[in-house]
Amino acid sequence: MLTKILSAAHFGLETIPIEVEINISKKGFPGFNIIGLPNKSVEEAKERVKTALVNSGIDFPLAKIIVNLAPADIPKEGSCYDLPIAVGILNSLGLIELPKEKSFFYGELSLDGSLRHTKGVFLLALAAKTLGVKNVFVPRSCANEGAVVKKINIFPVNTLRELLSHLAGVEPINKVSQITTSDIYEPNIIDFDFAEILGQEQAKRALEIAAAGGHNLFMQGPPGSGKTMLARALPGILPPLTEEESLEVTKIYSVTGNIPPGGSLIKIRPFRSSHHTTSRAGLIGGGSPPHPGEISLSHNGVLFLDEFPEFSRSTLEALRQPMEDGVVTITRAAGSIKFPAQFMLIAAANPCPCGYLGDPKRECRCSPRQISYYQNKLSGPLLDRIDLHLNVPAVEVEKLMPKEKIKIKAEKSSDIRKRVIKARVIQNKRLFQAGFYTNAQMKNKHLKKFCHLTDEAYALLKQAVNNYSLSARTYFRLIKVSQTIADLEGVKDITTAHVAEALQYRLRIQEG
Partner 1 sequence: MKNFNYQTGKIGEKIAQEFLIKKGYQIIQTNFRTRFGEIDLIANKNNRLIFVEVKLKIGEDFGSPEDMIDHHKLSQIQKTAEVFLQTNPQIVDNFQSNQIDAVCIVLNPDQTVKRINHWENLTGG
For the bound state, the minimum distance from the C-beta of residue 58 to partner 1, rounded and expressed in Å, comes to 15
Residue 318 phi, psi dihedral angles, 5° rounding: -65, -20
Which stretch, 25-33, 100-108, 308-316, 321-329, contacts partner 1 (CB under 8 A)?
A: 25-33
Least Å from the CB of residue 31 to partner 1? 8
For partner 1, which is the closer residue by CB, 59 or 404?
Answer: 59
Residue 57 binds partner 1, judged by CB under 8 A: no
Region near partner 1 per CB under 8 A, out of 24-32, 83-91, 258-266, 459-467: 24-32
DSSP 356: -
Shortest spacing between CB 26 and partner 1, in angstroms:
11
Does residue 333 bind partner 1 (CB under 8 A)?
A: no
Nearer to partner 1, 28 or 490 (CB): 28
Q: Compute how many residues bind partner 1; rule: CB under 8 A.
A: 5
Q: What is the DSSP letter of 264?
A: -
CA dihedral (452, 458, 462, 468) positive or negative: negative
Q: What contacts 347, CB < 8 A, 6 or more positions away?
A: 216, 217, 218, 219, 304, 305, 306, 308, 386
CA 148 – CA 178 distance, rounded (Å): 6
By beta-carbon proximity to partner 1, the closer residue of 28 and 224 is: 28
In this chain, which stretch among 11-19, 29-37, 253-261, 451-459 interacts with partner 1, using CB under 8 A?
Answer: 29-37
Q: What is the dihedral of CA 46, 48, 49, 55, to 10 degrees?
A: 140
> Which of 28/358 has CB closer to partner 1?
28
- Single out the segment in contact with partner 1 by CB under 8 A; choices: 26-34, 104-112, 169-177, 180-188: 26-34
Select 31 or 224, whichever has its Cβ closest to partner 1.
31
C-alpha distances (whole Å) from 195 to each of 321, 392, 396, 420 are: 36, 17, 17, 16
**x-marked contacts with partner 1 along 174-203 as a string, rule CB under 8 A:** ------------------------------
Type of residue at 355: G
* 8 Å CB contact between 24 and 89: yes
CA atoms of 223 and 225, how far apart (whole Å): 6
Residues 374-403 that bind partner 1 (CB under 8 A): none
- 228 φ, ψ to 5°? -65, -40
Interaction between residue 62 and partner 1 (CB under 8 A): yes
Binding status of residue 28 toward partner 1 by CB under 8 A:
yes
Distances in whole angstroms, Cα of residue 425 to Cα of each of 73, 301, 413, 418, 433: 47, 16, 18, 11, 14
Binding flag, residue 29, partner 1 (CB under 8 A): yes
How many residues are given for the chain? 512
| 40 in contact with partner 1 (CB under 8 A) | no
Nearer to partner 1 by Cβ, of 46 and 232: the residue is: 46
Only one of the segments 23-31, 157-165, 206-214, 477-485 lies at the binding site for partner 1 (rule: CB under 8 A); that segment is 23-31
Q: Would you count residue 30 as binding partner 1 (CB under 8 A)?
A: yes
Min dist. Cβ of residue 64 to partner 1 (A): 8
- Cβ burial of 45 (10 Å; 0-12, 13-18, 19+) is buried
Q: Interface with partner 1 by CB under 8 A: which residues?
A: 28-31, 62
